[in-house]
Structure 1
Amino acid sequence: MWQLTTQKNWDELERQFGFVRDMRDVPQDPRHHAEGDVAVHTRLVIEQLQQLPGYQQLNPQDQAVLWTAALLHDVEKRSTTVLETDGSITSRGHARRGEQTTRELLYRNFPAPFELREQIAKLVRYHGLPLWIFEKPDPLKSLLQTSLEVNTQWLALLAEADVRGRICTDQAELLEKVAFFRAYCEENGCWGTPYPFSSGRNRFTYFYKEDASPTYEPFDTTVFEVVLLAGLPGAGKDTYISKRLADWPVVCLDDFRRQFRIDPADREGTGYVVQMAKEKAKTLLRQQQSFVWNATNLTRQVRQQLIELFVTYKARVRLVYLEVPYTQLKQQNQNRVHVVPNAVMARMLSRLEIPACWEAHEVVYEVRT
């Protein structure tokens, strides 16, 4: 069984982890958190979580996942907390940044299995959603998307503990919102389980098109396939192509960089490289020729732009994410002909967004343990 630590006394946690010590003296708005700073709040959240019957009924491994998410749920209030001009205290974006920090910590510093790591990271990312789901522009789409990335039952437990671990005047109202979230999940068939889309095409179409229905099964109009690779340098993308797709045409950004001697740190040059790669891809797309797009593609925004291009030409998109353990990644990077500097690798890791299963017609995770 994986767990972050066996020493869970708060004083021990502060001794073991710098990110826990960083929670000290990070202020919170007393209107919503009269209990004190982030450290006090986090300790209370963990205590409340462990008392919840739903948590106590989980197996030890699932408890370890949820406990770790509770410890990390506000980890990036340290970097996002601001004293506003009106005297209020805010920490906008702490959940999104906390997801990235959680992923880095559990990949590089305290290695966790991929599935557990991503479940913890997404619990951190969405821990406030049960309280604000109905303020989203499209609550149903937000709910179904979240259900594909995180266990909604665990999310509700974390949200309830988050509410109980604070002193505020609206606690009863917030707990009622958590209860509404559970009812909304049950009503839409995604309480503690991913929403059951009928197919990858159905799932992709629903999130790709604004007016699509989750129950609509679209006609398959695709006539060829594009494989979009994603992963850090040294994760094995070239090896994957040589073993699985050796006879496919490849559009590779690094090939253009080397051909024209463009430094990866050159932003203007990188834009030129991407444009040349897209022109080559468009030639293949017009011919309805299956091919591989080989690049790091670390962010959802970059992947989305490419997928929209491919789909316009009626391509079926298979998104393949590759990952190896951090120690192996460093070794394989050092063995590359073109080594990526450590500082650059660290920046890339801090930007990494793991592909979600709804981003393409098919999403494959080639993860080595």
Structure 2
Amino acid sequence: MALVPAPGVDPDWQALMAALPCLAPLRRTPQDPRYHAEGDVWTHTKLVVQSLVGLDDYAAATPERRFVLFHAALLHDIAKPATTRVDPQTGAIGQPGHSARGAVDARVLLWRSGVPFALREAVCRLIHVHQLPFYAIRGSRSGESAEMVVRRLSLELDLRELAALAEADMRGRVCADSEDVLVDIALFRELAREEGCYGQPRAFADRWTRMRYLRGEDVHPDYAYHREAGSTVTVLSGLPATGKSTWIKTRCAGLPVVGFDDAREAIGLKYGKNEGAAMHFAVDQAKALLREGRPFVWNATHLSRQMRAKTLDLLFAYGAEVNVVYLEAAEQTILSRNRKRDTTLTNAAIERMLHRWEVVSPVEAHSVTYHIVN
């Protein structure tokens, strides 16, 4: 909190550079002058932070929410050095995927720095979607309507903070269409107000309707959708050695357990060997339980959203009620536990997993709970 500036006050840039060496490469990272005529990424980042601390949203925020806003602005382009690509023919500069990669990089950095889970994830969620208010009104790149974007995002983060970050991001650059984009951000705010989700989650008739809507079905958020009969499935998510198996023993005793680790053991595979066979074994087990409508637990790391989607899509296809339980522990706790386990998974392998670590979002299942142990 000590480095978070008061409203209207310039940060201590020298202290920030000393505390966060990962900022240094931003000075050496170029940007496309069509969108960033102000210069390199560090120049842009400083302008964004300076714009942010001058906004009314920042002045009105509590100290904790200023922490979130400030770090989201400071780290919003943290992955640009790693994602920069220069076209050898045209010289055009691009940083594809820098928002998603930046959220992961910020997560690892803030986790190792001991930032509380809720504040850390608020920062990371903002970084992940910090550009969405630029074009949501005109139609998102995924094809979602503006209403869908606003409704979905409100379940994941505070739209007041997202709009403030987007406004600061646009004010902290020099580009031809900045005024037009600022108008679009203002319209994004107004749409969120109309939807009743500016500063709070959008209300839905119930969680069944919410999941049907979020998964693209033609249902209205305000009218309850009939629930299909199916299994109730608890899906575990989290890094290895965060206590998933212990959680199952204490909370779900007697329920069938499906998982890749269990599948490996059943068919005699070491970690990382013939993952396809383990996956097919687990999926076949799950399908049998789903056909019978039985409750069960799916135990796996499910570390990235892409990997979770493979499991969740299967469960939703069978009409299951899906409740995700995310577990997390401090890094030294995880590494210490893993050293003591009878496993072929090394600590070095766990550390390599961090580059795809995406904490489960509230929009991914009927319910999501977080169990954090330090």
Residue 199 and residue 4 in structure 1: after superposition, are their counterparts in 2 closer, same or farther (change >3 A)? farther
- Residue matched to 1:276: 281
Q: 6-15 vs 352-361, which deviates more?
A: 6-15
Q: Compute the displacement of 1:234 (Å).
A: 0.5
Can you list the C-alpha shifts for 1:132-164, whole angstroms capped at 9, x where unaligned?
112311122222111111111011111111111
Report which stretch shifted further, 150-159 or 138-147: 138-147
One of 264, 269, 293 as aligned partner of 1:288: 293
Question: Which of residues 148, 154, 162 is equivalent to 2:155?
Answer: 148
* Contact kept? 2:271, 2:344, Cα under 8 Å: no
Tell me the distance in 1 between the aligned counterparts of 2:34 and 2:115. 36
1:274-304 CA distance string (max 9 Å, x none)? 1111112222222222111111111222222
2:3 and 2:16 in contact (8 A); partners too: no
Question: The residue matched to 1:314 in structure 2 has which SS?
Answer: coil
Contact kept? 1:320, 1:364, Cα under 8 Å? yes
Mapped contact 1:3–1:61 kept (Cα < 8 A): no
Equivalent residue letter for 2:276 = G
Residue by residue over 1:81-110, the C-alpha shift from the partner in whole angstroms, topping out at 9 and shown as x without a partner, is 2222323222121111101111111112x1
1:314 and 2:353 correspond: no
In structure 2, the residue corresponding to 1:107 is in which secondary structure?
helix
- TM-score by structure 2 length? 0.92
1:83 aligns with 2:90: no
| Shift in alpha-carbon separation, 1:113–1:192, aligned structure 2, 3 A | same
CA distance in 2, matches of 1:273, 1:191: 44
Distance 1:86 1:213 in 2: 47
Structure 1 contact 4–64 (Cα < 8 Å) conserved: no
Measure, in 2, the Cα distance between the counterparts of 1:11 and 1:171: 29
- Equivalent of residue 261 in structure 1, options 262, 268, 279: 268
Q: Does 1:363 align with 2:368?
A: yes
Task: Give the AA of the match of 1:366.
Answer: H
Instruction: Supply the AA of the counterpart residue of 1:90.
Output: G
Pair 1:94 & 2:98 matched = yes
Unpaired runs of 5+ in structure 1?
none
Q: Percent identity?
A: 38
Q: After alignment, is 11-20 or 41-50 more displaced?
A: 11-20
* Cα distance in 1 between the residues matched to 2:224 and 2:139: 28
> d(CA) in 2 for partners of 1:126 and 1:252?
31
Q: Residue 3 of structure 1 contacts residue 65 of structure 1 at CA under 8 Å; is this kept in 2?
A: no
1:239 matched residue in structure 2:
246
Q: In 2, distance between residues paired with 1:220 and 1:4?
A: 49
Aligned length: 365
CA distance in 2, matches of 1:346, 1:216: 45
Contact kept, 8 Å, 1:80 with 1:91, in 2: the verdict is: yes
Residue equivalent to 2:71 = 68
Q: Does structure 1 conserve the Cα–Cα contact (< 8 Å) formed by 2:3 and 2:12?
A: no
**Larger deviation: 54-63 or 132-141?**
132-141
User: Partner residue of 1:47?
Assistant: 50
Q: In the alignment, is residue 21 of structure 1 matched against residue 28 of structure 2? A: no
Q: Letter of the aligned partner of 2:348 in structure 1?
A: A
The residue identity in structure 1 corresponding to 2:16 is L
* Aligned-residue offset at 1:256: 2.3
Corresponding residue number in structure 2 for 1:103:
107
Give the aligned partner of residue 256 of structure 2. 249
d(CA) in 1 for partners of 2:270, 2:151: 41
Q: Is the 8 A contact 2:303 2:356 kept in 1?
A: yes
How far apart are the structure 1 equivalents of 2:350 and 2:19? Answer: 26
1:39–1:311 CA distance, 2 compared to 1 (3 A)? closer
TM-score in terms of structure 1 length: 0.93
SS across alignment from 2:26: coil
Match in the other structure for 1:300: 305
1:44–1:166 CA contact under 8 A, matched in 2:
yes
Cα distance change on mapping 1:331 and 1:4 into 2, 3 Å: farther
Report whether the alignment pairs 1:118 with 2:125: no
| Offset of residue 213 of structure 1 | 2.4
The correspondence of residues 344-359 of structure 1 with structure 2, limited to 5 A, is: 344-359=349-364
What is the alpha-carbon distance in structure 2 between the residues aligned to residue 183 and residue 164 of structure 1? 19
Indicate whether 1:138 and 2:144 are aligned: yes
Instruction: Write the distance in 1 (CA, Å) between the matches of 2:355 and 2:53.
Output: 31
Structure 2 unmatched ranges of 5 or more: none
Give the letter for the 1:237 counterpart. Answer: K
In structure 1, distance between residues paired with 2:284 and 2:35: 53
**C-alpha distance in structure 2 between counterparts of 1:39 and 1:96, whole Å:** 19
Kept in 1: contact 2:326–2:370 (CA 8 A): yes
Give the root-mean-square deviation of aligned CA atoms. Answer: 1.9
Which range moves more in the overlay, 335-344 or 289-298? 335-344
Task: Report Cα offsets for 1:301-320 as digits up to 9, x if no partner.
Answer: 22222223223333211111
1:24 is paired with a residue whose SS is helix
Query: How big is the shift at 1:339?
Result: 5.5
How far is the alpha carbon of 1:121 from its aligned partner?
Answer: 0.3
